[in-house]
């Protein structure tokens, strides 16, 4: 059994052609200074992958930390934690971050392309596709895309929250085969290894269920944005999109991984891979409102592959318009699906609970029988 698992793991890693590598800011910048030896090791490893005919996208944190270092923040900014201050620090630090990558990759005659994304960019279908096309074009011409959140314009309401989430969305955006999240721990443990010496490293996870999520809540609380909990949430997004995920770290981690050493934790992708448009509906789009449905409608959506009809709608929350992404909740308020609505919130208020034949009578017109068609719906 162990040998079969090892063969399966090696096959997944070796056959991955398009790879997203996420690197945390704490690894790039330590004690206020860039960790040049780590960056050199990272770049060398990425170059090895490129020489092996693999395409690599880097999702990199570190801009704000480099901005603090460059500016001497203690003397010039009263509240470094405030959003305008973070935006200013990111603006300064981002140039330094991309300079570092450019300098190290230039040694191998490789160009670096900077991609700055906000959650709002990915929530709009057109800009989502534009971002995808830009990254794929960079890969096609042999450049290395370096992606970061656009912290210079993002505010709390439209932030990804952390670059773990961003890396999962980017992996889905470019149809990656593998997402590698490099951390300051060796992988996913049963408990926090820094607090519990009996914590055991888990080498593979078939499915991210409630037990795994509970372990993530109690394991490796790193004390900053992007702890193990957010990495597991990112892994859920990626695996549901049909992408395998590896979380791990340590010296020369990437090279060890592709040498066939059993390092890090592998999260196997879901067998039911989402189509490109449904990836965007599920994870890229930003919901504009919520629709609460009854148990009969929930069962029809979950188990019978049906569309959402107005008769199954109990309550409308928020203001939205036809074509907007909406969240579907059960009667207990738990989100179980997302979709694109055919009707506005005001229209649905008038036709909720109505049978199909009653829609035109209540509205004076009828666009569709469905409130959300199954082709535009993703079960979470």
Residues 26 and 85 placed together within one structural domain of the fold: yes
Residues 261 and 337 placed together within one structural domain of the fold: no
Residues 312 and 265 placed together within one structural domain of the fold: no
Residues 30 and 122 placed together within one structural domain of the fold: yes
Domain tally, the chain = 2
Beta carbons within 8 Å of 281's beta carbon, 6+ residues apart: 325, 338, 339, 340, 376, 377, 378
pLDDT of residue 84: 66
Residues 263 and 320 placed together within one structural domain of the fold: no
CATH at residue 370 = 2.30.130.10
Helix (H) or strand (E) holding 49: helix 36-51
- As given in the structure block, the two tokens for residue 158 are 């439209």
CATH at residue 176 = 3.40.1160.10
Q: Could you give the CA distance from residue 332 to residue 325 in angstroms, rounded to a whole number? A: 21
Beta carbons within 8 Å of 170's beta carbon, 6+ residues apart: 20, 57, 59, 117, 135, 147, 176
Residues 231 and 313 placed together within one structural domain of the fold: no
Cα 68 to Cα 89, 108, 250, 360, 361: the distances in Å are 6, 29, 26, 60, 62
CB 222 within 8 A of CB 192: no
Last residue of a domain, one of 278, 306, 326: 278
Domain that holds residue 218: 2-278
Burial of 229-242, coded b for 16+ CB within 10 Å and e otherwise, reads bbbbbbbbbbbbbb
pLDDT of residue 179: 97
Residues 241 and 307 placed together within one structural domain of the fold: no
Residues 264 and 297 placed together within one structural domain of the fold: no
Last residue of a domain, one of 244, 278, 312: 278
Beta carbons within 8 Å of 164's beta carbon, 6+ residues apart: 22, 181, 226, 230, 231, 233, 234
pLDDT of residue 223: 39
Residues 147 and 62 placed together within one structural domain of the fold: yes
Residues 246 and 339 placed together within one structural domain of the fold: no
pLDDT of residue 136: 95
Last residue of a domain, one of 278, 300, 334: 278
In this prediction the pTM is 0.78
Residues 182 and 323 placed together within one structural domain of the fold: no
Residues 272 and 186 placed together within one structural domain of the fold: yes
Per-residue pLDDT of the chain (380 residues; tens, 9 = 90+): 455 566 688 899 999 999 999 998 888 887 778 889 999 999 999 999 999 999 999 999 888 888 887 776 555 555 555 666 777 887 888 888 999 999 999 999 999 999 998 877 887 788 888 999 999 999 999 999 999 988 666 554 445 557 888 999 999 999 999 999 998 888 998 887 777 788 888 988 988 888 888 887 755 444 344 578 889 988 988 998 889 999 998 778 999 999 988 899 999 987 766 776 777 777 777 889 999 999 999 999 999 989 999 999 999 999 999 988 899 999 999 999 999 999 999 999 999 999 999 999 999 999 899 999 988 898 87
């Amino acid at each position: 059994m162990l040998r079969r698992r090892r063969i399966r793991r090696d096959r997944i890693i070796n056959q991955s052609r398009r790879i997203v590598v996420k690197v945390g800011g704490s690894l790039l910048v330590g004690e206020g200074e860039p960790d040049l030896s780590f960056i050199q090791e990272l770049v060398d490893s990425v170059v090895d992958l490129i020489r092996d005919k693999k395409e690599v996208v880097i999702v990199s944190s570190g801009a704000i930390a480099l901005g603090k270092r460059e500016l001497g923040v203690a003397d010039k900014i009263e509240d470094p934690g405030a959003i305008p201050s973070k935006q200013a620090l990111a603006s300064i630090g981002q140039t330094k971050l991309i300079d570092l990558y450019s300098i190290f990759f230039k040694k191998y005659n490789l160009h670096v392309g900077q991609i700055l994304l906000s959650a709002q960019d990915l929530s709009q279908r057109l800009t989502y596709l534009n971002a995808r096309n830009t990254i794929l074009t960079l890969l096609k011409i042999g450049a290395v895309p370096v992606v970061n959140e656009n912290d210079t314009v993002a505010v709390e309401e439209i932030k990804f929250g952390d670059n773990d989430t961003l890396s999962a969305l980017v992996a889905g955006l470019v149809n990656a085969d593998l997402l590698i999240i490099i951390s300051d721990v060796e992988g996913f443990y049963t408990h926090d290894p820094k607090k519990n010496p009996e914590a055991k490293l888990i080498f593979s996870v078939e499915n991210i269920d409630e037990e795994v999520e509970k372990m993530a809540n109690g394991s490796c609380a790193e004390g900053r944005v992007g702890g193990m909990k957010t990495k597991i949430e990112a892994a859920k997004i990626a695996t549901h999109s049909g992408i395998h995920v590896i979380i791990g770290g340590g010296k020369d981690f990437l090279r060890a991984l592709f040498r066939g050493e059993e390092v890090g934790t592998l999260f196997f992708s879901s067998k039911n891979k989402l189509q490109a448009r449904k990836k965007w509906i599920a994870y890229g789009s930003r919901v504009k409102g919520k629709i609460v449905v009854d148990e009969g409608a929930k069962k029809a959506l979950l188990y019978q592959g049906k569309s959402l009809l107005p008769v199954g709608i109990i309550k409308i929350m928020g203001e939205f318009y036809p074509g907007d992404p909406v969240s579907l909740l059960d009667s207990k308020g738990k989100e179980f699906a997302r979709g694109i609505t055919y009707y506005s919130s005001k229209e649905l208020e008038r036709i909720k609970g109505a049978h199909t034949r009653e829609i035109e009578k209540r509205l004076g017109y009828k666009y569709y029988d469905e409130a959300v068609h199954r082709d535009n719906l993703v079960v979470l």
